Amino acid sequence: MSQSFPGCFYLLFFLTLDPWFSKPSITLTPTQQISTGMNVSIECQGAESYLTFSLFKSNNLIASQEAEENRNATKFFFSEVRLEDGGSYTCRYHRIGFPFRWSESSDPMELVVTDSSLSKPSIKVLPNERISPGQNITIECQGPEKGLNFSLYKSGELITSQVTESERNRAEFPFFNVGLEDEGNYTCQYHRRGNPFAWSEPSNATELVVRDSSLSKPSIKVLPDEPVSTNVVSPGGNIILRCASDYRHDAIYYLHKDPPILYSAYWNSEWGAVVFQIANARISDGGTYTCSYCLKPVYQQWCSYRSDPVQVYIKGENPSLSKPSIKVLPDERISPGQNITIECQGPEKGLNFSLYKSGELITSQVTESERNRAEFPFFNVGLEDEGNYTCQYHRRGNPFAWSEPSNATELVVRASVGTTSLKAGSEMKRDCIRKGILSFASHVSRRVSQLDREKDSQDLALPEKLERDSQTKLIVRLLVLLAQYW
């Protein structure tokens, strides 16, 4: 305790309960896991002002304190809480000036302190394959030593506790005829016997999923609420998620986030799917979303497995998250088969970048702690790589608060236009000349044959005929050779 209260030990033998006083309430801050060295407060609250409160641990008076003027509550502070501060606390009050007429005790409140020397337990679901409705399963918790006391929690709420046998270091929590209501994240903790307020850290969470494997898995996508079709939404915008499957009007659909159920809805005929809308989005609305559906026959509820996850990102409200820059390297004309790099640069070092093509996520990259840019390599680029690219970033440790997208840069993949055109034009010209020469040679050959027939009736000397024939054949042969080697 940070302070003591001398003179607060009244002669409790003479106190009486006042039936007109209502029972006080008692609360602990913080309410989550408390470790040694943390600062803790216990608040006691009564029904009226001008009261004196007393705090008890295991029915032993610890301290007394008057509430401030015009207040009906007071706080008892523990600075740098220790393992021995763990225990069961209650409080009572009396009116100032009437120290022997008391209220009844509050309900007990347990202060549990985590002992860092106790290693974290492990937890698993048995059997570990897919679990169907109506099946019997077991959640097993295991600690580092024998004879421990285990407690099982679902989403942070205590479900049950179990004392293990002296020769065992694990506890088994059976679940019979499991249903959708048993789904959730489970953790467990333990303490040693004889020290019920010094606990280990919670185990890592294990997820219990109860689904009918005969039902097809639904699909989910984020519908654009902004001009650019990405999964990034501005603060105050709308998150619109579309979930669809083969089952329509006879099913109820559920939207999950990390993984508790957020909303339920029925088929929307106008959309041809089920549409979930989260209005006025905040940073906390960023995260991983899935959807599932359930059919509800007369005696049992059948549910599908959850869809593949989709990520929703909220643009950072922090003005320091300025828009990144993006460029293609090299910035000259890019030819098919070339290797290129798309570079994204942010305002600070150690950022996480994601690259998008036409609004669709392509890849992500964590930059080194000393760099403020990410380089995305593309090897042997082709026409399929053409398009508009953008990038975004977020700070490490805050994966759902994103910057605005960069301006788009266009990747154009083209062959060298000048060389290709010149080569094509020259080839066409040669082909045209070649065809013309061959056509002329054929015409000359036909014409000579015709002249031969006309001159046969003429009385020419044999040497003259031979000379004319040889000259004609030479001309035709030269024309053919010219066409072949043009």
Is the per-residue pLDDT at 474 higher than 70? no
According to DSSP, the residues that pair with 402 across neighbouring strands are 315, 394
Backbone angles phi, psi at 181, to 5 degrees: -70, -15
Q: Which pLDDT value is given to residue 482?
A: 58
How far is residue 151's CA from residue 191's CA, in Å, rounded to a whole number? 9
Q: Which pLDDT value is given to residue 11?
A: 41
Q: How confident is the model at residue 424 (pLDDT cuts 50, 70, 90)?
A: very low
Q: How confident is the model at residue 369 (pLDDT cuts 50, 70, 90)?
A: confident
Is the per-residue pLDDT at 1 higher than 80? no
Q: How confident is the model at residue 481 (pLDDT cuts 50, 70, 90)?
A: low
Strands 287-295 and 261-265: unpaired
Q: Which pLDDT value is given to residue 449?
A: 60
Half-sphere exposure of 122 (CA within 13 A, CB side): 7
Choose among 428, 424, 438: nearest CA to 481: 438
Cβ neighbours around 319 below 10 Å, total: 6
- Choose between 397 and 207: higher pLDDT: 207
How far is residue 417's CA from residue 415's CA, in Å, rounded to a whole number? 6
Choose among 323, 357, 329, 362: nearest CA to 343: 329
Q: How confident is the model at residue 343 (pLDDT cuts 50, 70, 90)?
A: very high
Q: Which pLDDT value is given to residue 262?
A: 76
Is the per-residue pLDDT at 254 higher than 60? yes
* Distant-in-sequence contacts of 327-335, Cβ < 8 A, 24+ apart: 327/409, 328/389, 328/409, 328/411, 333/412, 333/414, 333/416, 334/381, 334/411, 334/412, 334/413, 334/414, 335/413, 335/414, 335/415, 335/416
How far is residue 450's CA from residue 457's CA, in Å, rounded to a whole number? 13
> Angle 417-455/462-484 helices, nearest 10 degrees?
170
Average pLDDT over residues 97-123: 87
How far is residue 482's CA from residue 261's CA, in Å, rounded to a whole number? 83
Is the per-residue pLDDT at 91 higher than 90? yes
Average pLDDT over residues 67-82: 89
SS3 118: coil
Is the per-residue pLDDT at 416 higher than 70? no
**8 A C-beta contact, residue 444 and residue 479:** yes
Is the per-residue pLDDT at 423 higher than 60? no
Q: How confident is the model at residue 73 (pLDDT cuts 50, 70, 90)?
A: very high
Please report, for residues 55, 76, 106, 107, the alpha-carbon distance to residue 27 in angstroms, rounded to integers and kept in the order given.
12, 11, 10, 10
- Across 166-217, where does the E strand assignment appear? 170-175, 184-192, 198-199, 206-208
Q: Which pLDDT value is given to residue 15?
A: 57
For the chain, what is the mean pLDDT? 79
Structure tokens at 254: 């559920």
Q: Which pLDDT value is given to residue 154?
A: 92
How far from chain centre, in Å, is Cα 122? 25
Largest CA distance in the chain: 166
Average pLDDT over residues 188-205: 88
- Choose between 250 and 316: higher pLDDT: 250
Model pLDDT for residues 457-473, shown as the tens digit of each residue: 454 444 454 455 555 56
pTM reported for the whole predicted model: 0.48
How far is residue 412's CA from residue 176's CA, in Å, rounded to a whole number? 61
According to DSSP, the residues that pair with 239 across neighbouring strands are 278
Is the per-residue pLDDT at 298 higher than 80? no
Is the per-residue pLDDT at 307 higher than 70? yes
How far is residue 280's CA from residue 235's CA, in Å, rounded to a whole number? 7
Average pLDDT over residues 428-432: 56
Percent of the chain with pLDDT over 90: 22
Q: How confident is the model at residue 425 (pLDDT cuts 50, 70, 90)?
A: very low
Q: Which residues contact 121 (CB under 8 A, 6 or more apart)?
A: 141, 142, 143, 144, 150, 188, 189, 190, 200, 203
Cα dihedral 39, 45, 51, 54 sign = negative
**8 A C-beta contact, residue 205 and residue 187:** yes
How far is residue 168's CA from residue 142's CA, in Å, rounded to a whole number? 9
Of 227-231, 270-274, 292-296, 387-391, give the range with the top mean pLDDT.
387-391
How far is residue 479's CA from residue 434's CA, in Å, rounded to a whole number? 10
- Choose between 234 and 441: higher pLDDT: 234
Q: What are the residue ranges of helices labelled H in 223-321?
A: none
Quickly tell me which residue has 């007109």 as its tokens.
20
Structure tokens at 220: 């989910």
Q: Provide Rg for the chain, Cα atoms.
A: 42
334-352 residues labelled b (16+ CB within 10 A) or e (exposed): beeeeebebbbbbeeeebb
Q: Which pLDDT value is given to residue 475?
A: 64
